[in-house]
Chain A
């Protein structure tokens, strides 16, 4: 058989592409429902992780239902669009961040940890190589950080990727996002030894400067979108 023949080459390429495409489509279709369930469960784990709850070895879905007692979907002006847990959970932040700010929907998850109310905001930003995201939980004063969770798609292992480490995330606990007169100033992420004027700060990752700056920007932009909500009275908002 002459394998250098043009028509043979063409047919070979076409058949190969069709076979591979069918195979990949089949694999992807067959595994889709399991993958979606995993993604959903992982999101619940991430939200719980921002409350410093470790779900290792437990059924994350059950733990989630126990702690997360409610949720809100807000617009950028702090008006409540929905109070359903499912609506808030179903929001895809990547898509919302691309939407026009006036149509943007922002989820707030409300948790009850040992009788205390915590508010959890969704964060979305950019690191060095790709997107970074996370959740931040605040005490019911909507000012003091209770816990954080960060994750990333492709930051450098051992450097920027360390934003997922407990050492980095735990630094944020107890920091304030409002300054002395109640204005939103966010939290700075600075090189060790530097200080920020008029706001709280944490230490950046050595060797992960761009990723650290990404976290700082993400906090400022993402929490900034909830600013109206931050200044609303704690119970109820403007229903």
Chain B
């Protein structure tokens, strides 16, 4: 990997996973973090889809960055993202129909994800394609792991299952355990995000506001 991942690219890739996380530090993409984390499966799929789309739209915008007129740059970014998402959705509909039916809502949500516009505007407009690609992957993964962690807790305590398979033993229910319905409601995602932010900030002094 040596030359492929220099110190700088490594930082670009690893930063978003922790100290520059899109959700917990940049506070982007919170809306979709609420919407798709009631269960683990949609959260994982959303994480992967966003990672792919951020990485590739970052590359496209980075290639175009010197030609894009300043006054319509946001529109250009939006068109690139929307076109990419539409093409992916059309291809899924033709070759993986079942997946596309399950994803129908989320695919549309990708376009509105603030992380996309945030990364395009903040990184791809000013950096070379390869670095932008890495930045996209890093932010995508940074987004995905938070989503998966939230979904893990929400599905486990809200529905007693993981990936749809029951995990909590029947015995426990017989003894009077009940699933916490609050966990599957959207506000719980916010509380869990807050818990993650709390843990992260208590461990990283530099993230704490004075």
Q: List residues of chain A with CB under 8 Å of any chain B CB.
A: 1, 3-5, 8-9, 12-13, 16-17, 20, 23-24, 27-28, 31, 34-35, 38-39, 41-42, 153-154, 156-159, 206-207
Q: Which residues on B sit within 8 Å (CB–CB) of A1?
A: 67
B86 proximal to A (CB < 8 A): yes
Q: Are B159 and A34 within 8 A (Cβ)?
A: no
- Give the A-B pair count, Cβ closer than 8 A: 81
Known A3-B68, A8-B69; judge A31-B86 contact (CB<8 A).
Answer: no
- State the Cβ distance, A48 to closest chain B Cβ, in Å: 15
Using C-beta atoms within 8 Å of the partner chain, give the interface range for chain B: 20 to 34
Q: In the complex the two chains form, what is the Cα distance from A3 to B65 in whole Å? A: 11
Q: Which residues on A sit within 8 Å (CB–CB) of B158?
A: 158
Q: Are B86 and A24 within 8 A (Cβ)?
A: yes
Q: Which residues on A sit within 8 Å (CB–CB) of B90?
A: 24, 27-28, 31, 35
11 extra A-B contacts, CB within 8 A, seeds A3-B69, A12-B67: A9-B71, A24-B86, A24-B90, A27-B87, A27-B91, A31-B93, A153-B104, A156-B38, A158-B184, A159-B38, A206-B181
Which of chain A's residues has its CB closest to B69's CB?
A: A9
Q: In the complex the two chains form, what is the Cα distance from A23 to B79 in whole Å? A: 12
Known A28-B90, A31-B90, A158-B155; judge A207-B42 contact (CB<8 A).
Answer: no
Q: Which residues on A sit within 8 Å (CB–CB) of B38?
A: 156-159
Known A34-B95, A35-B94, A158-B159; judge A24-B83 contact (CB<8 A).
Answer: yes
Q: In the complex the two chains form, what is the Cα distance from A3 to B72 in whole Å? A: 10
Known A24-B86, A31-B94; judge A207-B68 contact (CB<8 A).
Answer: no
Q: Are A207 and B184 within 8 A (Cβ)?
A: yes
